[in-house]
Amino acid sequence: MTTVSNAEYRGVWVFIEQVAGEPAPVSWELLGAGRQLADALGVELAGVLLGQGVAGLVSEAWAYGADRVYLVEDPVLGPYRTAPYARALVELVQRYRPEILLLGATSLGRDLSGAVATALGTGLTADCTGLNIDPATRLLEQTRPVFGGNVMATILCQRHRPQMATVRPRVMPLPPRQEGRQGELVRVGIALKEEEALATVLKVIEEKGKAIYLDRAEIIVAGGRGLGSRENLRLLEELAGVLGGTLGASRAAVEAGWLPPEYQVGQTGITVRPKVYFAIGISGAIQHLVGMQNSEVIVAINKDPEAPIFKVATYGIIGDFQEVVPALTEEFRRQLAARSA
Ligand SMILES: Cc1cc2nc3c(=O)[nH]c(=O)nc-3n(C[C@H](O)[C@H](O)[C@H](O)COP(=O)(O)OP(=O)(O)OC[C@H]3O[C@@H](n4cnc5c(N)ncnc54)[C@H](O)[C@@H]3O)c2cc1C
């Protein structure tokens, strides 16, 4: 076996995730983060696109900052399955040797990253909230919450390559899309066999019903334990209704059974980055803050002036939500009606 030194690994890669040709927006967010890392290292930024009939996404990857896209198209890579995707990605890494490989912390990305890191014998830092380059060592500093979110740890992968990290959707900002930006396309053939796929997709059944996409919402009206009861959610629903927003919840509100788990914002819930986030009756525990503190505007309503949520709030309203929320709803309703008149 030939040993490859770490110095022979060069470049930053981002896995461009797609399902049935639909790209996961986290891929573009990671190209934004990857661009900064690549510039700090003075290397190229590449996207890796695996699938069948997905070449249309190459120009999107260029537009979001990739200098180069490695494209592997093969019928075996049609529907996502761990074994062929992992095989293709491992082979690409072994052939082209990137020093950094980033994936979205989606269900697909979590599955794939673990399989790839294991096969390559390298480290993987999951759910990073910060990525930087140490200029002295050129190592990737991978920051993430640990010990229940009470401590932020910066993790290094010193001995093995590539340095692999996953980042949740909406943790990194979406970079501006540069229409018409061109890059290089490298089509790679990898001999994949259907019988090595280990699983067969018989049928894809789309989930019906009201799927909520909290991570894409522009306005979130979130409630916590301070609401006191499920009935009081009605006030938040009215506010959300007037503003065209989506409800959200702290873990305490979810555990009380007031809203289902898919509404939970925070470390063990969804990470969000809306234009406006209302935190109502939410104290601002660190595990909640890590999921919403990158919102553009944060409006906190809490009767305790010492509540930590006020430290991250753009606007803080000290008071009982039962008085404040209906007053806000009424005022927004009035302003919006005046504007449309
Ligand atoms: C490993 C781990 C992971 C976790 N993950 C998450 C997570 O993903 N998301 C999450 O949210 N939490 C998470 N938690 C829990 C977190 O630590 C907190 O317990 C939780 O966020 C508290 O929820 P809360 O703010 O709704 O409740 P509380 O902390 O009880 O706060 C209620 C607030 O309501 C205010 N209030 C009360 N009455 C009124 C009123 N009438 N009007 C206005 N304000 C009022 C109070 O002053 C108080 O500030 C996690 C914890 C651990 C250990």
Residues 156 and 222 in one domain: no
Residue 202 lies in a domain: no
Residue 201 lies in a domain: no
CA–centroid distance, 202 to ligand 1, in Å, is 43
Residue 259 lies in a domain: yes
Residue 206 lies in a domain: no
- 140-192 pLDDT, tens digit per residue, is 999 998 887 788 999 999 999 999 999 999 899 999 999 999 999 999 999 99
- Nearest atom in ligand 1 to the alpha carbon of residue 307 is 49
295 carries a ligand binding annotation? no
- 2-55 pLDDT, tens digit per residue, is 578 998 999 999 999 999 999 999 999 999 999 999 999 999 999 999 999 999
CA 340 from centroid of its chain's CA atoms: 35
- Asked whether 281 and 225 are in contact (CB, 8 A), the reply is yes
Residues 65 and 134 in one domain: yes
**CATH number for 240:** 3.40.50.1220
Residues 230 and 270 in one domain: yes
- Both tokens of 13, joined, read 């890669």
Question: Residue 2's pLDDT is what?
Answer: 59
**CATH number for 187:** 3.40.50.620
Residue 292 lies in a domain: yes
Residues 27 and 170 in one domain: yes
Q: Are strands 246-249 and 184-187 parallel, antiparallel or unpaired?
A: unpaired
Helix, coil or strand: residue 204: coil
CA–centroid distance, 236 to ligand 1, in Å, is 16
Residues 80 and 119 in one domain: yes
Residues 43 and 157 in one domain: yes
Q: How many domains would you assign to the chain?
A: 2
Query: By residue range, what is the domain housing residue 87?
Result: 6-196
- The residues lining ligand 1, judged by C-beta closer than 6 Å to any ligand atom, are 148-149, 224-226, 250-253, 264-269, 281-283, 285, 287-288, 291, 301-304, 307, 320-322
Helix, coil or strand: residue 208: coil
